[in-house]
Chains A and B, each alone.
Chain A
Amino acid sequence: METIKAKLDETPFQTAGPFLHIGCMPNAIKINKIYQNDLGEIPFKDKQENELITIEGSVFDGNGVALDDVMIETWQCDEKGQFNEDSGFARLIPNNITKKFTLKTIKPGSYKGFDRKTYSPHVSLSISARGLNMTLNTRVYFEDDELKNDPLLSIISLDNVNSLIAKKIKKNSYLFDIFLQGDKETIFLDI
């Protein structure tokens, strides 16, 4: 029931521009003396290496060039499907040689949503860069999970749904490339 009306407009977005590292990940660009650590270096503390999965990939522009000035933020629940307000967040930038980002995290569990539907395991992404007037949102699902009843995936046509599903490349390791434009353009969400 939408009975409450919003009184104010949301503040509009503006691009994060090419220098977002200064504000969001200063240690990554060798501004070391201000913050002890960059935010989101480790999504879950107290986890052992053997409990972690890796999701890696690149963000490609319309020319097929992998970006190195993009920031990807990730947010997810724990292995039991529980959201803990203070863990599960990570910030990533691509390696400036390989142009790949690497998320080391735990595999999220499935959860029953407020709508009582069951969501397949997924990680939410927010993507910011020069050239993007608004941050983009998408999700990563995993190809070795049961996906057919997921409330989001089931409304997306079969040709497109693959852009949201990470491929398993070896044990505990997944590939998830993001395409900003072109034939393989990733599905972005208004969520």
Chain B
Amino acid sequence: MNAKSLIKRNYEKHPEIDFPDYKSSIFRAPKNRKISFPSSNTETIGPIFNKNIIGKLDNDLTLNFSKNKISPLGHKIIVYGTVSDQFTNPIKGALIEIWQANAAGKYLHDNDENPAPIDPNFAGCGRCLTSSSGYYEFLTIQPGPYPYPNRGIEWRPMHIHFSIFGKSFGQRLITQMYFEGDPLIKLCPMVNSIRNEKAKNSLIGVLDTSKSNTKNLLAYKFDIVLRGIKQTYFENRKEGL
């Protein structure tokens, strides 16, 4: 049988939980230290999602909510990349769910108080499963930056929210992709809750103009790394032997 265990998380490469510059964290971030405990079966086996849940347009945000095939406003982009683990193994069948604001910086959500217009042809949600080489791709539109109340009104850089499931509950990741060259990135307290520069930069999608000529599209490449799982084979033995 294969014993699996996740390699320990390096919290220096992650955001600080208790980070008052991000006001919402003040009354929500736990104050006590986490209890460190080796991963067991619960964290290392599943869930895995079946491709029959994925519809044909699920990864095409320009069409999955449009009426009469009218394009949403804004310029179209491709967001693509690979999902691998920390040992560089590509992860096949990883579920990626994304959500984002429309070109005006407005979410299709009752709680969004930004006085910008909704786009009747854009919901801002998409999902896909990675291929055998860990590849994923979304067709969407460039999300706008948006204002939100924090320390007064601040502006979020353009971003797409990502939720990823690999092969196990302990690999679960929720993050955001930013866009190369956006001047708002360095002002954002959520980005700056990550102290490590290299880790911060790894969230920035890299501009790729190779598809500009043939498809009239800008592309952004965003590779995702999930926690590594070690597997060790051992024989089934009776206890105590």
Contact = CB atoms under 8 A, between A and B. Distances in A.
B15 A114 contact: no
Nearest to A22: B99
Contacts of A31: 65, 108, 123, 125
Contacts of B228: 4, 6
A19 B37 contact: no
A130 interface: yes
A112 B71 CA distance: 53
Category for how many chain B residues contact A: 35 or more
A121 to B, nearest CB: 11
A119 B31 contact: no
A70 B126 CA distance: 20
A2 B99 CA distance: 37
Interface in B42-82: 42-50, 53, 55, 57-58, 64-65
A167 to B, nearest CB: 21
B22 to A, nearest CB: 7
B170 interface: yes
A14 B174 contact: yes
> How many of chain A's residues touch chain B, expressed as a range?
35 or more
Contacts of A181: 27-31
Interface string A71-98: 0010111000001111111000000000
Main SS class of interface, A: loop
Contacts of B9: 10, 190
Contact of B86 (A10, A19, A89, A131): A10
Contact of A12 (B14, B25, B27, B125): B14
B5 A114 contact: yes
A23 B64 contact: no
B209 interface: no
Interface in A11-60: 11-24, 26, 29, 31, 33-37, 39
Contacts of B225: 8-11
Contact of A15 (B40, B126, B190): B190
Interface of A: 1-2, 4, 6-24, 26, 29, 31, 33-37, 39, 61-63, 65, 67, 69, 73, 75-77, 83-89, 111, 113-116, 119, 122, 124, 126, 128-136, 139, 151-152, 155-156, 180-181, 185-191
Interface of B: 1, 3-11, 13-17, 19, 22, 24-32, 34-50, 53, 55, 57-58, 64-65, 84-88, 95, 97-99, 107-112, 123-127, 161, 163, 169-170, 172-176, 190-191, 193-194, 198-200, 202-203, 224-228, 230, 232, 239
14 contacts: A4-B87, A10-B10, A19-B111, A19-B112, A20-B174, A23-B161, A34-B55, A34-B57, A63-B27, A69-B111, A77-B41, A86-B48, A115-B40, A191-B6
